[in-house]
Structure 1
């Protein structure tokens, strides 16, 4: 790895850590039930929450969004629960693949979009943590892999056709890297990634796709994020509050 690439990698990891630590320091309190998201940035948040639990004797309970999140909670010896026992969360902390100026998110690059959306919707406050690469003016500016859509396997072709007929772009089945065949989600479903070729009204797009029979969920998180914390290139945190988010 070149010195330049190594420096960029270190800068990105530091930005993830800064964003995650800022969320854990400012939006977690004693007695909280916390939704724990998925992805590479989340481990830093869980690490910091565990440090605070040890240092401050906090009592917190964690609800995971995925198998990965569950393993993180257990790894750091935090109290594990679920939405059956805790249907209302004080805060959910999760990452994003991209965030636009209107606080619309693309999520699901790791394949956990449905669980992530359910947990985020159950929280009084949804805090998104991301490094500087995830910040965009418009969706698609930096994230080029498309919008993930979790689908029932038998409906894939019909879903692909309806999306392409309505909005254009390319819809591809997400294939696994270490096995032959498609990625299978924690729900036993498959994922289609829709690479769009222009900006859209994302609320309308989400509604249209969600109503196609066989669609489980889309990776468009519209009007859900209350707070977005970016880790910047110079190692600082940039906290943005969404003043237009609907009251939950």
Structure 2
């Protein structure tokens, strides 16, 4: 059925990919407004712990005083060798800042090391004034399908 979220605020199922996934079904990227969330990833996206390898973790921030927020995020994740970059929208105008539907900016945090305790990282990020949301989806996936060259592995919660 095709509808809108105002009429049907809870989806029965969402299927999406992810930038990274760990064995406990934590993800970077994904959906979260559904009863059952199935993520599908290539085996190369599987990591022991999220973060590291130059992963870009997105953080949505309000435009007001955004430079301060970027500096704070960089400091918070200094241990992960975080390099923050304000996302640009090269589709509309090259170099123009990317603006979300809610008129906010996206900061991509490039991480060279693991994030450690994901719940702590999530909490610290969301407690920073002006942060709207981040791209960590912890404990939301009900199923993770990992595709390999020769096989497919299905992990259920």
TM-score in same-fold range (> 0.5): yes
- TM-score, normalising length: structure 2: 0.85
The reply on whether 1:126 has 2:48 as its aligned counterpart is no
Structure 1 counterpart of 2:154: 239
Please say if residues 99 and 135 of structure 1, whose CA atoms lie closer than 8 Å, have aligned partners that are also in contact.
Answer: yes
For 1:17-61, what per-residue CA distance to the aligned partner results, in whole angstroms no more than 9, with x for missing partners? xxxxxxxxxxxxxxxxxxxxxxxxxxxxxxxxxxxxxxxxxxxx2
Q: Which has the higher contact order (CA 8 A, sep 6+)?
A: 2
Please say if residues 14 and 37 of structure 2, whose CA atoms lie closer than 8 Å, have aligned partners that are also in contact.
Answer: yes
Number of matched pairs: 151
Unaligned runs of 5+ in 2: none
Choose which of 125, 136, 148 in structure 1 pairs with 2:58. 148
The reply on whether 1:85 has 2:1 as its aligned counterpart is no
User: How far, CA to CA, are the matches of 2:49 and 2:57 in structure 1?
Assistant: 13
User: How far, CA to CA, are the matches of 2:49 and 2:137 in structure 1?
Assistant: 14
Larger Rg: 1
Question: Which structure has the highest strand share of the two?
Answer: 2
User: How far, CA to CA, are the matches of 1:100 and 1:159 in structure 2?
Assistant: 28
Please say if residues 55 and 112 of structure 2, whose CA atoms lie closer than 8 Å, have aligned partners that are also in contact.
Answer: no
Go from structure 1 to structure 2 and tell me whether the alpha carbon gap of 1:189 and 1:97 turns closer, same or farther (over 3 Å shift): same
- TM-score, normalising length: structure 1: 0.56
Give the secondary-structure state (helix, strand or coil) at the position aligned to 2:64. helix
Unaligned runs of 5+ in 1: 1-60, 62-79, 108-115, 243-248
Q: CA RMSD in A?
A: 1.9
